Structure 1
Amino acid sequence: MAEQFEFRLIDGQAEPGELEADHLIAIVQSLKEVALKIARAETDAEAVGRPTKRTHRVANLTTGLVPGSTTVRVRRSDAPGGQVLFESADEAAFDDRFQALVEAIAVDERASWITDTQASAAGKLRAALAEAAPTVEFRAGGLVRSRFATEETHRETWAVMPKDDEVAASVVRRPPAGRRPRHSPTPSDG
């Protein structure tokens, strides 16, 4: 299990050691969403609503740029000063799933264990990384786990298709009970 992850953004548009603010913000927001989706699954929390303290603790990340580089470093924020005093089974499972999800992005394959909400978040991370750099090197626990060209990853791999009942619900809208449908005036209403 890794307690720290790094995304080295190679050949991006910004000067070496710098990253455009919009790119950094998109990466951090997508990392936060991925972390929460994985933490919800690993702590058996509800997929929507306010996360429990336990889920929040597992998903809480510290993110920053490695000084003088275009490497985004991510680690869990377990204790003051970043020291991991002890690691729960949830946190170990989180690290393994986070690593596996990023590696799935790198090979552009959605594994069967990845839920729709995790796939949606992974798609946002994939898009943020692709916007920031043409090549990404992913490290976990100090070891290079994958290096991939972002143009070889596809949005469609992470797209979530609505279920048949969701499509029907979004197409058929009925007015709430006791309300009449809106009426558009016609020329004869004059």
Structure 2
Amino acid sequence: MGVIVALLPFGFTAVAQDVASAEAEIENYLLKSGDVVEISVLEDSSLNRQVLVRPDGKISMPLAGTIVAEGRTPEALQATIRSALAKDFLEPPTVTVSLVSSSSEVDTEDLQTFYVLGQVAAPGRFQALEPVDVLQALAVAGGPGIFAAKSRIQIRRRDENGGETVTLFDYNAVEEGAGVALQMISDGDIVVVPERGLFE
């Protein structure tokens, strides 16, 4: 029986080394403010999303809450998210975190900034690369808290004349399956989730 010999093209070894080096660099990459990561949860696709690492170095996602991302590798962040979500699953979920783009590749002019304040799990300032509606904005902030007045959430927006318009959003209606129009969030909008009254 003859021996089959595969001849590798010239330079193949160098290319393979470059690929291995690039993979190692990604594995050791430390996340920083402005980076965009993609989070995938095998057991619950509704949690899948692209998230921007905020100026404070943190990210927020439903169920997991607010997590420090800056200074961690994607793999380390993956383990932290998995641990944070474990309480909501029978078995710890399968979480994957991958770097979509580094802060140097993100055009800050394309970022949309909004604020979610009041009775939510993780209030604060958020930025998004893509348009979000009020429901998505609330989800990024961890959702309404147990003391939230869900039926009178406010979307506050400044107009060109310096005035302010306030639109109400009924989160309860969404939970009950009603066909509620989801207002899109504009740059600079403030979503306020007030505290419910004693008999509310």
TM-score by length of 1: 0.25
> Could you say which structure has the larger radius of gyration?
2
Q: Which has the higher helix share?
A: 1
TM-score by length of 2: 0.24
